[in-house]
């Protein structure tokens, strides 16, 4: 929305939310999320034609186009639990729109939703609007940006996709939204489709990207078992123009708000229409991601003489990727929980993630993180978690370092000084393959890196 406001000064953009604290943050100099370049965009447009408000009824009622970007978490109970998307918040938004609408509106799906959601939302809108003259056109306009590079992705996107009904009014609505994007995006990069294709395209895009990560992670396990180097393998196949080099970095696993949720949603849709084999195929992408995280935890524990009980483990990075403060489905959660279950004590440092967020993530049940106002529990797991304000504090007295996020600053640390303050033998488990492993070994570290030939110290002698 901020990018639209920046490039379309003649259009008034109002972001509404029922959360007063969040709106206060959007109106301050400390935004509620971290994204490189976002503050500069917001600052330039805020107060001119970009506004943030809690008066949802007023602004939704006045709007010509309403973008809906509410959470669509995975259901935790009932039919489809663990796979299907929970559309409670979407339905609530539709009821609000219908209740305040006094003029016809274009309602745009920005949230990732199951195929045919527009059909259900249309029924809610029509049945809850008291004015029969009000008409609603629903468009699907999924977001394909990546956190950490979101601003650049918005400035120069590979494509913008707009799906709408194949009717005269539906096509007119598509053109209305297309004209907004054409303020800064070439027309040939704005793709149009029917509603169902646009909704499915978002799920499919995330499934394909996650599939590439799980594929190279599967090969990383084979590389470790055979002495091959996964980075050399990835480079060899990535130079094939049919494959390409992107999303071929082996790691501890993928995270973020979309990949797992969208694949599970895709699986549920497949099962709902009788395509069990298709659902099973995509579910294996998630299973491989879980396997990779579990494999990493097992490697840490077995390397440290089969136990981490009462041992301090420095966790460098908690965000699911660099240049963001987002921790949703971050692999660090499962890794920390796995180490803690074995008795380990995790000392976590991340340059952007706040302590309260880390505590909430480690004490929140699976899938509950995507719901508003989830809070920190009194879980015993927190007794074995400490938050460090500096990397030096995190590694002081630690038995091992686990790199969970590929923050650039981690590559610049004085690991020799860190080594001196650690318990020996000192281990580094590089879950992102970003460090200079030869230099670390020269210092004296025992090093494990994903998909690389194993350090002799880590090889079993039986």
Helices and strands, number each (H, E), in the chain = 17, 13
Three-state secondary structure call for residue 326: coil
From CA 267, how far away is CA 265, in angstroms rounded?
Answer: 5
- The count of other CB atoms within 10 Å of the CB of residue 380 is 9
What are the beta bridge partners of residue 105?
136
- Cα separations in angstroms, 242 against 170, 206, 239: 36, 19, 9
Paired tokens of 305: 């003489």
Which helix (H) or strand (E) segment holds residue 107: the answer is strand 105-109
From CA 143, how far away is CA 331, in angstroms rounded?
Answer: 23
Of the residues 8, 129, 223, 258, only one is catalytic, namely 258
- The count of other CB atoms within 10 Å of the CB of residue 409 is 11
From CA 92, how far away is CA 113, in angstroms rounded?
Answer: 14
- Cα separations in angstroms, 455 against 219, 404, 438, 460: 18, 20, 11, 10
Three-state SS letters, 390-433: CHHHHHCCCCEEEECCCCHHHHHCCHHHHHHCCCCCCEEEECCC
258 flagged as catalytic: yes
Residues with a known catalytic role: 258
């Amino acid at each position: 929305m901020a990018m639209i406001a920046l490039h379309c000064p003649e259009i008034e953009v109002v972001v509404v939310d029922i959360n007063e604290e969040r709106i206060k943050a959007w109106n301050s100099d400390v935004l509620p999320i971290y994204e490189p370049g976002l503050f500069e965009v917001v600052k330039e447009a805020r107060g001119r034609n970009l506004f943030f408000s809690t008066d949802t009824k007023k602004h939704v009622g006045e709007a010509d186009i309403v973008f809906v970007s509410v959470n669509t978490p995975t259901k935790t109970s009932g039919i489809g639990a663990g796979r299907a998307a929970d559309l409670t918040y979407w339905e609530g938004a539709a009821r609000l729109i219908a209740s305040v609408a006094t003029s016809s509106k274009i309602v745009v799906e920005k949230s990732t939703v199951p195929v045919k959601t527009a059909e259900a939302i249309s029924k809610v809108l029509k049945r809850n609007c008291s004015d029969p003259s009000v008409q609603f056109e629903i468009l699907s306009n999924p977001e394909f940006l990546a956190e950490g590079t979101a601003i650049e992705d918005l400035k120069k996107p590979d494509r913008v996709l707009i799906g709408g009904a194949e009717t005269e009014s539906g096509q007119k609505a598509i053109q209305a939204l297309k004209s907004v994007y054409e303020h800064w995006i070439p027309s040939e990069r704005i793709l149009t489709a029917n509603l169902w294709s646009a909704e499915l395209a978002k799920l499919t895009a995330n499934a394909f990207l996650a599939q590439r990560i799980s594929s190279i992670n599967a090969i990383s396990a084979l590389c470790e078992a055979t002495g091959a180097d996964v980075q050399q393998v990835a480079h060899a196949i990535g130079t094939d123009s049919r494959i390409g080099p992107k999303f071929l970095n082996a790691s501890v696993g993928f995270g973020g708000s979309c990949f797992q949720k969208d694949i599970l949603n895709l699986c549920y849709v497949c099962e709902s229409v009788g395509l069990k084999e298709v659902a099973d195929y995509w579910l294996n992408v998630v299973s491989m991601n879980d396997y990779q995280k579990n494999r990493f935890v097992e490697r840490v524990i077995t390397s440290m003489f089969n136990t981490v009980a009462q041992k301090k483990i420095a966790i460098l990075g908690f965000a699911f990727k660099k240049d963001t403060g987002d921790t949703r489905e971050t692999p660090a959660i499962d890794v920390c929980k796995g180490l803690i279950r074995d008795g380990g004590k995790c000392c976590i440092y991340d340059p952007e993630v706040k302590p309260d967020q880390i505590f909430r993530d480690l004490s929140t049940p699976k899938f509950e993180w995507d719901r508003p106002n989830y809070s920190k529990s009194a879980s015993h797991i927190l007794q074995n978690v400490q938050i460090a304000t500096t990397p030096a504090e995190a590694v002081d007295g630690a038995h091992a370092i686990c790199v969970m996020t590929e923050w650039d600053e981690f590559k610049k640390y004085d690991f020799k000084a860190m080594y001196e303050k650690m318990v020996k033998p000192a281990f580094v488990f590089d879950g992102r393959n970003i460090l200079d492993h030869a230099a670390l070994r020269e210092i004296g570290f025992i090093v494990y890196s994903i998909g690389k030939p194993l350090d002799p110290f880590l090889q079993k002698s039986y």
